[in-house]
């Protein structure tokens, strides 16, 4: 699987969010500013990724797989932090932090799948290098 | 917290569902205000249940999207596998809803759908190994859910265990467990 800067950024943001939420949950604390902000950071990252992906395709970036599958994944991923926030805030127990923790790791898995769709499953390295060189523009 | 108080209660098995819940709720609140149940009238969707329902929800969305994509784009390649994908999606959606709803009927619905789910992951998982040609690795349940970190295998076991712990919920209107 080809991975790019976007995936690593998602891995860091999602990973930190999940670890933070698990740590706070282990301390038996209800969702607080720290865990909610970490989930908000995941949402923010996804919005940036959405804008970045629109820019990449607009400037000639090519999605190897089905484009609508990619956008479907991205749209679903964008809903996750909101759904997690909603579901967690309904009951403010420490268990809700585990729910929030599930958001980050799920987004990381979906980022991996989106990278797979973007670069194609097997064409690997070459497409990835040219893709990141022309596409990310970060 | 609410977990231990609920099972550790000596009269838990004989107490009626409603009485058991209220006492468990009040005792857990004294233990820790931050981790206490919020007094919702069904412990099933509370505490660990919320995480369980959340994970079921993720799988419901994932399986539905995947099955929809497979059927829309390449149904003729492997109709059986993709129909099973759709069945898995329906099962996850049904399990998510029935776990989140309150009451004895939904409890039984949850038990039934999760049993179907366990059966599905075991049968499809086994078939995908012994008859790989008919089951390309394209469903949530293939190879016991290896593509999803074996969570699909773990989920029904946890789900049934969780429902067993909350079997008192089902005694409100009738007795079934």
Confidence of residue B137 (pLDDT cuts 50, 70, 90): low
Instruction: Give the A window 36-95 contacts with B, CB below 8 Å.
Output: 66, 69, 72-73, 76, 80, 83-84, 87-88, 91-95
The pLDDT assigned to A82 comes to: 96
Q: Which chain A residues are within 8 Å of B69, Cβ to Cβ? A: 66, 69, 72
What does the block give as tokens for A118? 């973007």
How far off is chain A from B76, nearest CA to CA, in Å? 18
Q: What is the ipTM of this complex?
A: 0.78
What is the percentage of chain B residues whose pLDDT exceeds 90? Answer: 34
Partner-chain contact A30 B47, CB within 8 Å = no
Is pLDDT above 80 for A84? yes
**Polymer length of chain A:** 138
pLDDT in tens, A21-63: 999 999 999 999 999 999 999 999 999 999 999 999 999 888 9
Q: Where does the pLDDT of residue B46 fall: very low under 50, low under 70, confident under 90, or very high at 90 and above? A: confident
Across the interface, whether the CB atoms of A69 and B54 are under 8 A apart is answered: no
Q: Rounded to whole angstroms, how far apart are CA atoms B92 and A117?
A: 24
Percent of chain A whose predicted confidence (pLDDT) is above 90? 67
Q: How confident is the model at residue A16, as a pLDDT?
A: 97
Torsion of CA A15, B59, A83, B158, to 10 degrees: -80
- CB pairs below 8 Å between A and B: how many? 59
pLDDT at B149: 85
Q: Provide CB contacts within 8 A for A26, sequence distance 6+.
A: none
The answer, for B151 touching chain A at a CB cutoff of 8 Å, is: no
pLDDT at A22: 96
Domain locations in chain A?
A: 5-135
B106/B113 Cα distance (integer angstroms): 10
Q: Show the CA angle centred on residue A83, arms to residues A79 and A84, nearest 5°.
A: 120
Distance CA B170, CA B173 (A): 7
> Which pTM value belongs to this model?
0.75
* Interface probe with B: pick from A76, A95, A104, most Cβ of B within 10 Å: A95
> Rounded distance, CA A89 to CA A69, Å?
30
């Amino acid at each position: 699987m080809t991975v790019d800067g976007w995936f690593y950024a998602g891995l860091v943001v999602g990973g930190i969010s999940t670890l933070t939420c698990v740590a706070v949950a282990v301390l038996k604390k209800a969702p607080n500013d720290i865990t909610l902000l970490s989930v908000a950071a995941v949402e923010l990252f996804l919005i940036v990724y959405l804008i970045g992906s629109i820019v990449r395709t607009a400037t000639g970036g090519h999605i190897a797989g089905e484009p609508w599958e990619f956008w479907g994944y991205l749209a679903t991923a964008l809903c996750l932090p909101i759904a997690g926030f909603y579901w967690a805030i309904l009951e403010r127990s420490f268990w809700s932090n585990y729910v929030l923790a599930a958001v980050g790791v799920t987004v990381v898995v979906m980022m991996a799948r989106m990278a797979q769709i973007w670069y194609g499953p097997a064409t690997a390295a070459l497409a990835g290098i040219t893709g990141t060189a022309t596409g990310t523009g970060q | 917290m609410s977990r231990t108080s609920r099972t550790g209660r000596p009269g838990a098995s004989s107490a009626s569902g409603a009485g058991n819940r209220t006492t468990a709720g009040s005792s857990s609140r004294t233990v820790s205000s931050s981790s206490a149940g919020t007094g919702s009238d069904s412990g099933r969707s509370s505490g660990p249940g919320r995480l369980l329902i959340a994970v079921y929800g993720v799988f419901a969305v994932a399986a539905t999207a995947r099955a929809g994509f497979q059927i829309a784009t390449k149904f003729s390649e492997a109709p059986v596998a993709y129909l099973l994908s759709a069945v898995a999606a329906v099962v996850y959606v049904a399990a998510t809803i029935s776990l989140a709803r309150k009451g004895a009927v939904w409890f039984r619905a949850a038990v039934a759908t999760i049993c179907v789910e366990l059966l599905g992951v075991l049968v499809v998982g086994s078939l995908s190994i012994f008859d790989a040609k008919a089951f390309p690795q394209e469903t949530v349940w293939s190879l016991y859910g290896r593509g999803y970190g074996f969570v699909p295998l773990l989920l029904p076991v946890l789900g049934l265990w969780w429902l067993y712990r909350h079997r008192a919920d089902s005694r409100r209107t009738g007795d079934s467990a």
